[in-house]
Amino acid sequence: MLWPVSARAVTEPTRESVVDASFMQIDEPRFLGSRLQEGTVLTDEGGRDFSIGDLRGKPLILLLSYYGCDGTCPVMNAELARVLPRVERFRLGEDYRVLTVSFDRKDSPASAAEFLARTGAVPPDMRHGWRHAVLKQPDVQSEFAGSVGFRFFWSDAAAAFLHPNVLVFLTPQGRVARYIYGTRMDARNIELAILDADWERISNSTAVFDMLTGACFSYNYAEGRYQWNYPLLAGVGSLVSGILMMILGSWFYRKRMGRANA
């Protein structure tokens, strides 16, 4: 049977219930542009405290996981680690950061460190720009995850959390810019999502190549990926064709007039 669920995360185990799949869908129009609270304090795998505000100034990829997971959470972390070296336009740590945060209130900095050691998901040479953390304040996991539209559900039957597999891209000011779904990731999609997140800076610069890239690709919300902006390309193609026809017409006209006056 299906049990109704609220807008907040459901963490109490239920033995004979099946969560409605729509519960885990993120309401993107509602949460795009929302801001993480900069005063939220976290503790990373090394026991160091920091706040969301400390991460401002660069785009941030937020990955919500839990460290006791032996399913998709290690896969998501490992897949992201595999793909990021192929993102050529931006450099981890210098141009953007990655933050994995647990939504399981039972997790601790020690379990975050154990997760990294057990899974080997993130190579040590990537950890200068990638932190695995837990929330410092107890029992705010639902509130933190919910601020970006992420909802999770504990299934007692599966003995696991059910949750979306999603990357959340945040602007340098901490606002949600883009979501990318799935355990199979594409370096080009991630690069374009970082570009979207970083657009506030690039739009005021002379990075013409990035502006053109952002214009030529559009985000497909239904499929959670980037694709060519075909209407724009068709329009540009028509404009270029029209200009070429005018140039050729002018050239032929001048050629004819030159022969007539010879």
Report how far residue 260's alpha carbon sits from residue 251's, in angstroms, rounded to the nearest whole number.
Answer: 14
Q: Are residues 76 and 176 in the same domain?
A: yes
Structure confidence at residue 95 (pLDDT):
96
pLDDT for the residue numbered 5: 35
**Sign of the dihedral defined by the CA atoms of residues 183, 186, 190, 196, in that order:** negative
The pLDDT profile of the chain, 262 residues, written as one tens digit per residue, is 333 333 344 444 444 455 566 667 888 889 888 899 999 999 999 999 999 999 999 999 999 999 999 889 999 999 999 999 999 999 999 999 999 999 999 999 999 999 999 999 899 999 999 999 999 987 788 899 999 999 998 888 878 899 999 999 999 999 999 999 988 999 999 999 999 898 753 233 333 334 344 444 444 445 545 454 445 445 545 555 557 667 776 666 566 666 666 5
Q: In this predicted structure, what is the pLDDT of residue 29?
A: 84
In sequence order, the β-bridge partners of residue 130 are: 98
What is the three-class DSSP state of 180?
Answer: strand
- In terms of domains, do 174 and 238 share one? no
Q: How many domains does the chain have?
A: 2
Instruction: Give the integer Cα–Cα distance in Å for 188 and 192.
Output: 6
| The pLDDT value given to residue 249 | 64
CATH number at residue 216: 3.40.30.10
154 and 258 both lie in a single domain = no
Does 134 fall in a domain? yes
Residues 191 and 124 in one domain: yes
Q: Alpha carbon of 257 to those of 172, 243, 245, 246, 250: distances in Å?
A: 60, 21, 18, 16, 11
* DSSP helix/strand/coil, 50: strand
Q: Do 218 and 235 belong together in one domain?
A: no
Does one domain contain both 140 and 26? yes
Q: Long-range contacts made by residues 66-70, C-beta under 8 angstroms, separation at least 24?
A: 66/102, 66/103, 66/104, 66/107, 66/161, 67/102, 67/104, 67/107, 67/111, 67/112, 67/114, 67/115, 67/132, 68/104, 68/106, 68/107, 68/111, 69/160, 69/161
Please check whether residues 237 and 210 belong to one and the same domain.
no
Residue span of the structural domain in which 44 resides: 21-228
- Amino acid identity, residue 173? Q
For residue 255, the model assigns a pLDDT of: 64
- Reference 193, options 221, 222, 215, 214; nearest CA is 214
**Has residue 2 been placed in a domain?**
no
Residues 6+ apart with CB under 8 A from 44: 50, 109, 112, 131, 132, 133
d(CA 182, CA 155): 20
Residues 121 and 160 in one domain: yes
